[in-house]
Amino acid sequence: MSNPLDTDAGSELFSSYEAELKLVQADLSQKLDQIQELSGEPRKSAVRLAERALEEAQELLDQMRLEKQNIPTSTRASINSRFRNHETDVDSLKRKLKSLSSDKSALLGSRYTDDPNQRDEQVEQRQQLLSGTDRLDRSSHRLRDSQRIANETEAIGQGTLADLQIQRETIQHTRATMLESEGYVDRSVKTLRGMARRMATNRIITIAIITVLVILIIAVVYSKFK
């Protein structure tokens, strides 16, 4: 392959992606070689790392595919050739990773077996584990629901207590207003009674005055005709 430093006019960014892709390909090849020597959980972890490296390589290929469209037509032929070579290399690494990740005996280690009975036991154990996990999830969900209901009940209780406090203050204020009104009524009754007594007294005085005047008039008339 050509040296990325020997770039054609207008292909600088493409060559930059190309150099980065070569580093990712070398890292991916090294990871794939390591996977072959591993089994069980370490192999699974190595497969995941290789998958992430492959995703990065695919992203760089996508960037290179877009960038080569901006390269002048005069130099695009060599760029296309380099791109196809990289694409072929990445596809080869992808197939190798797929082969390594589909090796159940290596991924599962000592847990894998070709014995149908033992595989059935493994499947049953896995189903039991999944069932237990499902029950745990349901229990956690019910616990969260119970906690939510408890929080809502507490909030309702606090709201009810606040309403009761407001109602209590309203009742106390109403009671104070009623007591004050009763005081006004008592004073009004006393005032009316005093006025009634004064009216009765004035009436008696008026009647007495009228009576005296009548007597005096009668006396005067009598004295003139006597």
Per DSSP (E only), the strands in the chain are none
On the question of pLDDT at 101 being above 80, the answer is yes
Joined together, the tokens standing for residue 100 give 């390594």
Domain spanning 12-112: which superfamily? t-snare proteins (1.20.58.400)
- pLDDT tens figures, 52-85: 999 999 999 999 999 988 888 888 888 999 999 9
Distance CA 2, CA 130 (A): 53
Of 7 and 153, more confident: 153
DSSP 11: -
Give the pLDDT confidence score for residue 5 in this predicted structure.
41
How far, in Å, CA of 75 to CA of 97, rounded? 34
Asked whether residue 96 carries a pLDDT value surpassing 90, the answer given is yes
Neighbouring C-beta atoms of residue 30, cutoff 10 Å:
12
User: Which tokens belong to 188?
Assistant: 């009004």
Which of 6-15's residues contact partners 24+ apart within 8 Å by CB, and which partners?
Answer: 8/71, 8/75, 8/78, 8/79, 9/72, 9/75, 10/70, 10/71, 10/72, 10/75, 11/68, 11/71, 11/75, 11/79, 13/67, 14/64, 14/67, 14/68, 14/71, 14/79
Identify the pLDDT of residue 223: 84
pLDDT of 112 above 90: no
Q: With pLDDT > 90 as the criterion, what percentage of the chain qualifies?
A: 32
Name the residue ranges covered by the structural domains of the chain.
12-112
pLDDT tens profile 128-147: 777 777 777 777 777 787 78
**39 in Cβ contact with 109 (< 8 Å):** yes
115, two tokens: 């014995």
